[in-house]
Structure 1
Amino acid sequence: MTGYARLRRSSPDGEVVLSIKAVNHRGLDIHFHLPPDFDPYEHSIRAVVRRLVSRGHLEIRASYKRNADDAEAQLNLPMLDAYVAAWRLSAERHGITAEPDLSGALRLPGMLSPGTDRDPEASMEKFLCELTEDTVKELNIFREREGHDTLAVLLDRNAHIRAAVARVGDIRSRAMPAFQARMRERLADILSGAQLDPQRIVQEAAILADRSDIGEEIARLGIHTGELEKLLNAAGEVGKKLDFLLQEMNRETNTMLSKTNGIGEQGLTITETALGIKADIEKIREQSLNLE
């Protein structure tokens, strides 16, 4: 299912904005667009996403704005004061007038530090994982809401199909005289000028009936619509089962269409109705791609 979520949150070192956009995909495909500072944490973020999302193409983007006072907070001022004092004492003792080399001072080990007892990398990793989890939860809420809307559309389409199948059944009943007349004509063609075994005549009649009557297709489509409703309301992943069932429904409809010739106006009405059924089946198939 498609979805979007975006959260903004302040860390000890700055502000982070994380967004996740999801579109349909058979598997789970994650693409990251992170600032260089976050590269070491991509694996941990990915693990959080995989734990909470089973499928979809996800675009994960983050922006990072450091705190304005971050550089000052990391400067070891006592060490710098000691360095400047030592420089000036040495300069006075040896008669040197040069000023302290602050550039060199900043490169000394320990001069620049986090300024706190916390481990900055561990702290940022924990912060990003928590932010990712919260953002994914917002995404899943969005996708769940969309899923409910999609389910309602699919159930409505299935109801259309069930009603159409019932109409076809009613039309078939009214078309039986035309159907029987066609059967008689075909049997007359078979029997004309030929001496056939009575058993052969029965077999030919059965074959003609099977090739012309749509009663079985109507019955099976009715059963399939009931199974489709159960499947749509079932929990868990139903993609493969749904795809198979829709293929069967489409096959029954195609068979129905192949049997409606030669029964007059009722046949045309059945054809139009069956084409509508096929259209609804295709719409269900397209919309079902949004379901997990």
Structure 2
Amino acid sequence: MPNPIRSMTGYARTRRVLNEGEIVVSLRAVNHRGLDLHFFLPVELTPYEPALRKTLSANVSRGHVEIRAHLTRNGGGSSLRINQPMLAGWIRAFREAAAAHGLSAEPDLNVALRIPGIMADPALEEIGEEVGEALSGAAQECLDLLNRSRAKEGQETAAAIRAHVARIREAADTMEAIRGGVQAALHERMQERLAELLRGASLDPARLSQEAALLADRSDVSEEITRLRIHTSQLSDLLAAGGEVGKRTEFLAQEMHREANTILSKSNAAGEPGRRIAELALSVKSEVEKIREQSLNLE
């Protein structure tokens, strides 16, 4: 069974109820060139960041991911207390600084209480084993939900890319069928142009055919069509294998875009067949651009 193709965007949220409260974990993922993890954890949960980072890195390979966790204890904020030694030290330092600079200002308790560490919850000073296990379980559950959502969107994106690939192949087949008429069109065009220039003078048919063949060779797009077909086959195989396909899909889209541009530049002098080939090359470029845009959201 092929590995799932995942998008880089998604959101998931889980909640675990504990004897002493509850933990809520949320994950939000958006596009990014590499893996970019950002943690938003309360102070009491920061010791678990390395373990969470390891879990996420093992399950997400690409994208900007925001990890948020919140721990709510039963009883709300009733256990909050002031860190008296820390507050006393701050007041003493404030007054010493005021005296040293000849200021008459007094400490502001509202300012002091906003200093990190002044207000403390004894219940949070020691996190029990239950909290750590609940956080780990909630994070893994949230990650599973996120990856299921990303896999669903990735599957839809892959289906859209396959449809674009099918239209590119169809255009390549049509260009190949038209290509056979290029030399005849160039021969006719050269004959008309030379007739104008020479005003009725006789033309050497062999020489004319030779020049038309040389011009047709310069306008030949068979190699580009072949490479275009190869790239579509490579992309189909890539999507069939699944897994991390985003960067490789983007690369193949760039290669197909290059072939389409070359076909366009070679078709200018090929008369009506060239015009039809150019129109098809433009349609290929449009399909390729859609593939490129969609690849930017794939892991």
* TM-score greater than 0.5 by the shorter chain: yes
Residue 297 (structure 2) aligns with: 290
The number of residues matched between the two structures is 241
Q: 1:113 to 1:214 in 2, by over 3 A?
A: closer
Deviations 1:208-255 (A, max 9, x none): 333112222222222222222112212333344433322221221111
**What is the Cα-based RMSD across aligned positions, in Å?**
3.3
Deviations 1:49-85 (A, max 9, x none): 122222210011223321128969xxxxxxxxxxxxx
- After the TM superposition, which residues 134-213 of structure 1 pair with which residues of structure 2 at under 5 Å, given as runs? 134-182=141-189, 208-213=215-220
Find the aligned partners of 2:15 and 2:21 in 1 and give their Cα distance: 11
Match of 1:61 among 57, 60, 68: 68
Residue 218 (structure 1) aligns with: 225
Using the TM superposition, give the Cα deviation of residue 290 of structure 1 relative to its aligned residue in structure 2, in angstroms. Answer: 2.1
- After the TM superposition, which residues 118-129 of structure 1 pair with which residues of structure 2 at under 5 Å, given as runs? 120-129=127-136
- Greater Rg by CA: 1
Residue 242 (structure 1) aligns with: 249
**In structure 1, the residue corresponding to 2:70 is in which secondary structure?**
strand
Check whether the contact 1:2–1:23 (CA below 8 A) recurs between aligned residues.
Answer: yes
Residue 43 (structure 1) aligns with: 50
Using the TM superposition, give the Cα deviation of residue 281 of structure 1 relative to its aligned residue in structure 2, in angstroms. Answer: 0.8
Q: 1:132 to 1:169 in 2, by over 3 A?
A: same
Find the aligned partners of 1:182 and 1:256 in 2 and give their Cα distance: 20
Q: Calculate the TM-score normalised by the size of structure 2.
A: 0.70
Using the TM superposition, give the Cα deviation of residue 145 of structure 1 relative to its aligned residue in structure 2, in angstroms. Answer: 0.7
Find the aligned partners of 2:238 and 2:298 in 1 and give their Cα distance: 12
Residue 130 (structure 1) aligns with: 137
Query: What percent identity do the matched residue pairs reach?
Result: 50
Residue 22 (structure 1) aligns with: 29
- Greater RCO (CA < 8 Å, at least 6 residues apart): 2
Using the TM superposition, give the Cα deviation of residue 183 of structure 1 relative to its aligned residue in structure 2, in angstroms. Answer: 6.1
Match of 2:16 among 9, 19, 28: 9
Using the TM superposition, give the Cα deviation of residue 179 of structure 1 relative to its aligned residue in structure 2, in angstroms. Answer: 2.7
The one-letter amino acid of 1:286's match is E
Find the aligned partners of 1:142 and 1:216 in 2 and give their Cα distance: 41
The answer to whether structure 1 residue 278 and structure 2 residue 285 are counterparts is yes
**In structure 1, the residue corresponding to 2:136 is in which secondary structure?**
helix
Using the TM superposition, give the Cα deviation of residue 15 of structure 1 relative to its aligned residue in structure 2, in angstroms. Answer: 1.7
Deviations 1:7-39 (A, max 9, x none): 122123212221101112222111122223322
